[in-house]
Structure 1
């Protein structure tokens, strides 16, 4: 979840498009090759495969290297959906040793494909384990929680004297025609989460009709979060025309103006719980140090920086949120969720039905 500052700016976490791989070497002289536990010259190195929104403070990563003697090299590729696809396609010859950013909407696919090997670290029971995927508690460790919700540009509605929508059903009403932009669930992690929110609310027999009503009411669909938020949303960084967007519950914390008030609001009755995981890749060359990275991602030090640098909520219990989040981005109390086995069984069918309904 990362960018200029949305804010997570906004080019970041939720830049969930892509396919191109950007490689960031966090230690000078690192290469992408190397066998066993060592790189060239015998140095220890771990390759972390992640999404474009992974943006913790540099000093935090440097401290990890000093404490462990492990050089951490980061490969970033698209969003959670693009990351999962790459991990599956390269599972026979993995891109690295450890991965972070596969989320709960795509986790079942990665697990079915055998992308991760077993590892449950000593920090898992400090909160992350409560979010563990059913039946695979020893393969993925929860690092953060980022509820996907409809966000509205409050100023846009105030200036026009139009009541803000509050529920999913509101967006199908005539007064909200041509106001919503959402991401494609086939290519976007938040887009898929929003689709699952509609399945959770309207059921197997009703979600497609809901999307038909959205389509008929002027819904616009983009390939990913960055395009939707930065280009189409009126409160984004561009000159968008749509004051309602599928984003995150934490997004409003990054739109606080000089008056101390956020310019946007998350509609907490529309949220779907999204969890991001870390895990050791099957076929990893440096398993021992990859496990250290998983432990590091759920350590108190890293978790304390999750909100302000990655724009999500920490998975570890007892971690304080920034003051601005208390005001503008409280963690939703009743986000929708679907059981992992239900998502696994229905995901492809729901996406295909969505495509037929919305795309034609």
Structure 2
């Protein structure tokens, strides 16, 4: 891959690092901002829907997703749309309902028609809520021929197929602070007031960091750990964008963010000393997202073909760069520059679907009552 396809255009600000994980507060972590100039036309409606138009073939595939998949100078969605249409002679239309997956969850619970063929941007929490609240089949299983990283598979029924993942880490200013090596280090006086985090109720990043503390301290110990963070003056803001903006404004020398941070920083010619990546206990919390095919879709075969396309080496490389995320497969076509500015921990940890089902809501609710509102 040529260097120009990686050195994406600067100037998108903090939005460039925000894109995939579908926060209710508008957070995501990687909008791509390339200037390949695909020339796509998009029409936005007052209902919060973005629809792509093209001169594709007779078949149309409607893909529901989050806004930053289609927004920006040249995001992942625009590249995928243009290339898929060219290769398969079909039209891709994107729709971005204001309430995101909640829109389809509500329609499924009411037995209302589903007006899309695929949903792109699912996480394990979405699936658990779906399975808890809806008895009918909403998504159909997909079988794909791609080397997806086994640790990213989060749907035991094979409905949601991972297409990228974030790794939650600390980002810190090495001119102001030395990186803490462990979770317990963050409780030391030297880090008093130094950490910016996010609300686990309203932020995918904040929820992932909270779940990492549950993983480390256990369901019976994570709240005590957070009380220690509160005593050490952690600041909990609404979503990733809020906290990252505060970090960039110099309000604290550390923020919970993503280990791909230097991709964004390098792209914007930022001082990398303020974009160092730190892994607590040598770990990063993996937060994969997936794409799933609606059972009511009349384009079952075309939808499966689209998912297969997302997992090709070239598409995986483009999605990773434009979303500032890690690919879901082991054979993504990535330039050396991307790998130079991304960091992976000794161990990527996460909770499985089975571990979260019946537990995650309680953990978040307890955290909200005792920490966010404490």
Shorter-normalised TM-score: what interval?
A: 0.7 to 0.9
Q: Residue 26 of structure 1: SS of its match in structure 2?
A: strand
Task: Decide whether aligned partners of structure 1 residues 300 and 164 sit closer, same or farther in structure 2, where only a CA change above 3 A counts.
Answer: closer
SS of alignment partner, residue 9 of structure 1: helix
CA 163–296 in structure 1, closer or farther in 2 if over 3 Å, else same: same
CA 154–87 in structure 1, closer or farther in 2 if over 3 Å, else same: farther
Q: 2:277: which partner in 1?
A: 266
Correspondence 1:110 to 2:130: yes
Q: What residue in structure 1 maps to residue 36 of structure 2?
A: none
Determine the structure 2 residue equivalent to 1:248: 258
* Shift in alpha-carbon separation, 1:128–1:21, aligned structure 2, 3 A: farther
- Alpha carbons 2:165, 2:289 under 8 Å: kept: yes
Q: Count residues with an aligned counterpart.
A: 332
Counterpart of 2:53 (choices 27, 37, 54) is 27
- Structure 1 equivalent of residue 16 of structure 2: 9
Change (3 A) 1:173 1:337: same
How far apart, in 1, do the equivalents of 2:343 and 2:273 lie?
13
Secondary structure of the 1:121 match is: coil
CA RMSD of aligned residues (A): 2.9
Query: Within 5 Å, which residues of 2 pair with 1:94-173?
Result: 94-112=114-132, 113=134, 116-123=138-145, 125-127=146-148, 131-133=152-154, 135-137=156-158, 139-155=159-175, 157=176, 162-173=177-188
Cα separation, partners in 2 of 1:46 and 1:346, compared to 1, 3 Å: same
**CA pair 352-50 structure 1, distance change in 2 beyond 3 A:** same
**Post-superposition shift, 1:111?**
4.2
Aligned positions of 1:1-360 closer than 5 A: 5=12, 9-13=16-20, 16-18=23-25, 22-28=48-54, 43-54=58-69, 55-56=75-76, 58-76=78-96, 83-91=100-108, 92=111, 93-112=113-132, 113=134, 116-123=138-145, 125-127=146-148, 131-133=152-154, 135-137=156-158, 139-155=159-175, 157=176, 162-230=177-245, 232-234=246-248, 239-256=249-266, 258=269, 261=272, 263-269=274-280, 270-358=283-371, 359-360=373-374
Distance across 2 between alignment mates of 1:128 and 1:262: 31
Q: TM-score, normalised by structure 1?
A: 0.82
Distance 2:182 2:88 in 1: 48
Looking at structure 2, the residues matched to 85 and 165 of structure 1 have their Cα atoms a distance apart, in angstroms, of 37
Query: What SS class does the counterpart of residue 340 from structure 2 fall into?
Result: helix
CA displacement at 1:164 relative to structure 2: 2.8
For each residue in 1:227-251, what CA deviation from the matched residue of structure 2 results, as whole angstroms up to 9, or x when unmatched?
2212x113xxxx2402211111111
Instruction: Structure 2 unaligned segments of length 5 or more: list them.
Output: 1-9, 27-45, 70-74
Deviations 1:99-134 (A, max 9, x none): 1111234432234446742232332x4225653235
Change in Cα spacing, 1:260 to 1:213, as seen in structure 2 (3 Å) is closer
User: How far off is 1:286 after superposition?
Assistant: 2.9
Gaps of 5+ in 1: 31-41
Residue 139 of structure 2 aligns to a residue whose secondary structure is coil
8 Å CA contact 2:25–2:238 kept in 1: the answer is no
Instruction: Report the alpha carbon displacement of residue 52 of structure 1 after superposing the two structures with TM.
Output: 2.8
Moved more, 104-113 or 62-71: 104-113
Cα 1:187–1:27, aligned 2, differ >3 Å: closer, same or farther? Answer: same
- Secondary structure of the structure 2 residue equivalent to 1:329: coil
SS of the residue corresponding to residue 126 of structure 1 reads: coil
Once the two structures are TM-superposed, the CA of residue 354 in structure 1 deviates from its matched residue by 0.2
Cα distance 1:316–1:206, how it changes in 2: closer, same or farther (>3 A)?
A: same
Contact 2:265 2:271 in 1 (8 A): no
For residues 199-221 of structure 1, what are the alpha-carbon distances to aligned partners after superposition, in whole Å with 9 as ceiling and x for unaligned?
00000110000111112222222
**TM-score, structure 2 as length reference:** 0.79
* Mapped partners of 1:49, 1:136: distance in 2: 21
